[in-house]
Amino acid sequence: MAREIPKAYQPQEIEPKWAEYWVAEELFRADADAPPPVFSIVIPPPNVTGSLHIGHMLDHTEIDIMTRWHRMRGDNTLYLPGMDHAGISTQRVVVRQLAEQGIDYRTLGREEFEKRVWKWKDESGGKITDQMRQIGESCDWSREKFTLSPEMSRVVREAFVRLYEEKLIYRAHYLTNWCPDCLTVLSDLEVVHEERQGHLWHIKYPVADANGAAGGKFVVVATTRPETMLGDTAVAVHPEDERYRDLIGKSVALPLTERVIPIIADEAVEREFGTGAVKITPAHDPNDFEMGRRHHLPEINVMAHDGKMNAAAGAYAGLDRFVARKKIVEDLKAQGLLEKVAEHTHAVGLCERSRTVVEPRASTQWFCKMKPLAEPAIAAVERGEIRIVPDNRREEYFNWMRNIRDWTLSRQLWWGHRIPAWYCEESGHVTVARETPAKCATCGSGNLRQDPDVLDTWFSSGLWPFSTLGWPAKTKDFETYYPTTLLITGYDILFFWVARMIMLGIHFTGAVPFRAVYLHSLVRTGSGEKMSKSKGTGLDPVALNQQYGTDAMRFCLASMAAPGTDIVLSDDRLGGARNFANKIWNAARFLFVNLEKFEQGGTRLEELAAPEIRAQAPYGVAGAVPLRDAWIFARLAATVEQVNDALANYRFHDGAQSVYHFFWGDFCDWYIEWVKPELQSEDKESAIVAWRNLFAVFEAALRLLHPFLPFLTEELWHQFPQRAGAKSIALDRFPEVREIWRNHEALEKFGMIQEIITVVRNIRADMKIDPKKKVAAELSIVDDAERASVEADRDGIVRLGMLTDLKISGARLAGTGGVVRSTAKFDLRVEYTETVDVAGESARIAKDMEGLRKAIGSKEKQLGDETFRSRAPEKVVRALEATLAEQRT
């Protein structure tokens, strides 16, 4: 480190340098030939619709923490990056952009439009790549993939053709969800439901005789969508409904039209709802569609693709559906056919992307049969071949999978994988093939036309874990890295993506696509909303990274990422994480600034901190490791184990908290403060031991911190002597606990010293003793071994307690005056010549006593209870007794 180290850590100066270095040196290139164990993870490919948002930051932080941790533990590690073409979303973005320039995308033609989208993809994709590099993701850029690349297209066609040949993909006329804004059908998942206050219109349909003449009677039907009545082809009642029994088989004259439609009986009709009579519109309602099939009713589609009424709507043709609704209600009212209007709250289906009200509409589409795919996928999770974390998402997965319905695959879009199906213009036959066929497979005609539609974008995403590794070829990558180890993504795409990968993965490869899925929380705004760019509630990660530093952002997210709960990011939290980075920076600053002084005595950094020197720590003076060193290494060991355990269970917040507490609380607040004088000691041997141990702990701490704060730790790691050719801390080892680090005794002993110092400080603060004024103190410890240990570290206690002197004995406190406080293990008296605030002191003592009495009381009561003694485990009883014994003294 140079002499002029800034006092405050400035991530902006440091981060870009390493971000570039990591990419340029290709440090994270995976080697499929490297020995196991393997850790492989594929990125949830971000949509090329714009740039990374704060949700991605969380995703990528967690993935990168896991990746770096595994890599440092020596695993054969692959983090595969890539992006998703995001069919509907990306098309919408470009359509909107064109519209802003006054261009209707349809006038451009398909080919030109696709060109425009590719151009956008390059820009947006480039931006995302830049962002990912900026935030230091340790992925293998040589293996980057894009879901719509020619390579991925081949895989998609392969998968489609296989499923078609297996009769799992089929084309059918069915009722689907239509978005009049996106102008495409949607799968059920892309329709979101929203409770809305609406109306239930009760409409009178005149009963007609066989000739269509009205007989003065009416059947009243209730509907929430009056405009669809123009497409009614029947009225249905329950077969056992007494009210309507004699009308079954008769007809009604459909108002506003010339048509006469039958009254049919079907058990699906709920007698309790509305009037018990239902208008049936097979072309515009899922229930009605089914009923229409059962009763062979005609379908009359009354709406065009853009949500306007079509020619079949007669006088209402050309009107927007909601305008038509209003007009129809008015007309009915005018004709006296509107019986009443009731308030009615119901769930309205909206297009996930455009928020437009989705129109159920019968059309011919491609579908994927899901039940046969779902069964093995359910079984795999049941058998534990895939672990879903957190647990409760497992149930959600099962619920959805067990009730799965067929997947509408085709989309009326231009941006996406074109469906590999060709229609013969002569015979009408369909040819589904991997490559463009020359002639019709059935009749041999060369007059073919490819299906204009594209596939749901999630179809290619569903193949991602194996398409990216070279499947269907048996590549080295596929052999080595599939099944992938872990998938980390948000729970909001459990069904869209995760479930489908599991189904398609098992179906095509015979193996699960990943061994575990960790579903993380979502990042929300302060008011609890899901962050969204469109609502302006999104936070810009680039700006935040700039302001606080990427490391701080990562650490902040990690420390809040408790499984199962959403994250609310705040400036306060980010500031706290930034402060932590600054603390680490300054600890390093302390080391190197002091080292300069020490080096003047002729000792070089190499002798104190070379890798082989560090490996032998902790060092002792004349063979004895000083207590503070034994203690910090024991704490380091415990922390390493806590972090390993936390990360193994995706408990990022626990891991983050452990390292925070260790570095700030133990290392900085106690350890550095304790060794300060040793570092410039006259006694050369002690000084060298202090330096060596300090460097060893600090360097190990950097490696421990690295997965969380990669930039800062990389920067500081390079300030240490490293093995020849060592390029990065990211390729160094995660700290491994050495047996001699573990030291329960040191933890106990140093803990007692900390307690003594804390009591001294307490007294000083309570008595308002001038912090700069040193005072005398006296300590009494009954236990010989404990007393000896404390005596050995008397100097430290004196220094950190700001004492002039500390008398230690095993007898009762000899001196008088001053303030006395007692704990289970020791009594302490601090000289205090001023008048003690008796009232305050006795209030404090009284409060202490009160708490203690309560604690003792409850324990005595418990221990006195025979049922407790006989039923509680012995361990608990003994621990209770031990504490009670202490508290009584």
Nearer to RNA, 262 or 437 (CB): 262
Segment interacting with RNA, rule: CB under 7 A, options 267-275, 308-316, 320-328, 500-508:
267-275
Nearer to RNA, 85 or 651 (CB): 651
CB of 128 to RNA, least distance (A): 25
Q: Which of 21, 141, 174, 400 binds RNA (CB under 7 A)?
A: 400
Nearer to RNA, 451 or 673 (CB): 673
Interaction of residue 287 with RNA, rule CB under 7 A: yes
Nearer to RNA, 275 or 431 (CB): 275
CB of 217 to RNA, least distance (A): 19
Interaction of residue 560 with RNA, rule CB under 7 A: yes
Q: Which of residues 310-339 bind RNA (CB under 7 A)?
A: none
Q: Which of residues 586-615 bind RNA (CB under 7 A)?
A: 586-587, 589-590, 593-594
CB of 3 to RNA, least distance (A): 13
Helical ranges in 135-196 per DSSP H: 150-165
Segment interacting with RNA, rule: CB under 7 A, options 7-15, 87-95, 303-311, 377-385:
7-15
Nearer to RNA, 158 or 641 (CB): 641
CB of 287 to RNA, least distance (A): 4
Q: Which of residues 90-149 bind RNA (CB under 7 A)?
A: none
Interaction of residue 396 with RNA, rule CB under 7 A: yes
Report d(CA 739, CA 638) in Å as an integer: 11
Q: Which of 361, 573, 628, 821 binds RNA (CB under 7 A)?
A: 573
Nearer to RNA, 53 or 651 (CB): 651
Nearer to RNA, 195 or 242 (CB): 195
Q: Which of residues 867-886 bind RNA (CB under 7 A)?
A: 867-868, 871-873, 876, 879-880, 882-883
**Which three-class secondary structure string do you get for 329-373?**
HHHHHHCCCEEEEEEEEEEEEEECCCCCECEEEEEEEEEECCHHH
CB of 551 to RNA, least distance (A): 11
Q: Which of 58, 581, 617, 701 binds RNA (CB under 7 A)?
A: 581
Number of residues that bind RNA (CB under 7 A): 99
CB of 104 to RNA, least distance (A): 33
Q: Which of residues 345-374 bind RNA (CB under 7 A)?
A: 346-347
Note whether 208 and 251 are within 8 A (CB). yes
| Binding-site string for RNA from residue 159 to residue 188, where x marks contact by CB under 7 A and - marks none | -----------------------------x
Segment interacting with RNA, rule: CB under 7 A, options 25-33, 46-54, 616-624, 854-862:
854-862
Q: Residue 725's Cα: distance from chain center in Å?
A: 36
Tally: H helices and E strands in the chain: 30, 29
Q: Which of 314, 575, 611, 677 binds RNA (CB under 7 A)?
A: 575
Q: Which of 279, 411, 507, 554 binds RNA (CB under 7 A)?
A: 279
Q: Which of 433, 562, 610, 731 binds RNA (CB under 7 A)?
A: 562
Note whether 258 and 207 are within 8 A (CB). no
Q: What is the dihedral of CA 227, 324, 185, 103, to 10 degrees?
A: 180
Nearer to RNA, 168 or 568 (CB): 568
Note whether 632 and 747 are within 8 A (CB). no
Find residue 819's DSSP bridge partners. Answer: 830
Write the burial class of residue 640 (CB in 10 Å: 0-12 exposed, 13-18 middle, 19+ buried). Answer: buried
Q: Which of residues 478-497 bind RNA (CB under 7 A)?
A: 492, 495
Rounded to the nearest 5°, which phi and psi values hold at 372? -65, -25
CB of 597 to RNA, least distance (A): 7
Q: Which two tokens stand for residue 878?
A: 């003994």
| Binding-site string for RNA from residue 760 to residue 779, where x marks contact by CB under 7 A and - marks none | -xx--xx-x--xx-------
Q: Sign of the C-alpha dihedral, residues 728, 732, 734, 735?
A: negative
**Three-class secondary structure of residue 82 per DSSP:** strand
Note whether 769 and 831 are within 8 A (CB). no
DSSP letter for each residue of 211-277 = TS-EEEEEEEEEES-GGGGGG--EEEE-TT-TTTGGGTT-EEEPTTSS-EEEEEE-TTS-SSSTTSE
Q: Which of residues 9-48 bind RNA (CB under 7 A)?
A: 9
Q: For strands 387-389 and 514-520, give the pairing.
A: parallel
Interaction of residue 578 with RNA, rule CB under 7 A: yes
Interaction of residue 755 with RNA, rule CB under 7 A: no
| Binding-site string for RNA from residue 612 to residue 651, where x marks contact by CB under 7 A and - marks none | -------------------------------------x-x
Note whether 702 and 713 are within 8 A (CB). yes
CB of 889 to RNA, least distance (A): 11
CB of 669 to RNA, least distance (A): 4
**What letters, b where the CB count within 10 A reaches 16 and e where it falls short, cover 772-787?**
eeebbbbbbbeeeebb
The strand ranges marked E within 72-135 are 76-80, 82-83
Nearer to RNA, 22 or 580 (CB): 580
Q: Which of residues 654-693 bind RNA (CB under 7 A)?
A: 654, 657, 664, 668-669, 672-673, 676
**Cα distances (angstroms) measured from residue 423 to each of 166, 173, 443:** 20, 16, 11
- Assess whether the previous peptide bond of 390 is cis (omega < 30° from 0): yes
**Of the candidates 701, 702, 641, 710, which has an alpha carbon nearest to the alpha carbon of residue 666?**
701
Interaction of residue 845 with RNA, rule CB under 7 A: no
Q: How many beta carbons lie within 10 A of that of residue 333, not counting itself?
A: 13
Report d(CA 796, CA 44) in Å as an integer: 53
- Assess whether the previous peptide bond of 420 is cis (omega < 30° from 0): no
Q: Which of residues 403-462 bind RNA (CB under 7 A)?
A: 403, 405
Q: Which of 81, 274, 282, 416 binds RNA (CB under 7 A)?
A: 274
Q: Which of residues 46-85 bind RNA (CB under 7 A)?
A: none
Q: Which two tokens stand for residue 547?
A: 């302001």
Q: Which of 44, 81, 180, 276 binds RNA (CB under 7 A)?
A: 276
Q: Which of 152, 278, 531, 617 binds RNA (CB under 7 A)?
A: 278
Helix or strand holding residue 558 (H, E): helix 550-560
CB of 263 to RNA, least distance (A): 14
Nearer to RNA, 122 or 795 (CB): 795
CB of 224 to RNA, least distance (A): 5
For the stretch 399-407, contacts whose Cβ atoms lie closer than 8 Å and that sit 24 or more positions apart, written own/partner, are 400/494, 400/495, 400/499, 401/374, 401/377, 401/499, 402/374, 402/378, 404/370, 404/371, 404/374, 405/188, 405/370, 406/367, 406/368, 406/369, 406/370, 407/187, 407/367, 407/368, 407/370, 407/456, 407/500
CB of 391 to RNA, least distance (A): 8
Q: Which of residues 189-248 bind RNA (CB under 7 A)?
A: 189, 192-193, 195, 221-225
CB of 519 to RNA, least distance (A): 12
Nearer to RNA, 155 or 760 (CB): 760
CB of 486 to RNA, least distance (A): 18
Q: Which of residues 503-532 bind RNA (CB under 7 A)?
A: 528
DSSP letter for each residue of 655-704 = HHHHHHIIIIIIIIIIIIHHHHHHHT-SSHHHHHHHHHHHHHHHHHHHHH
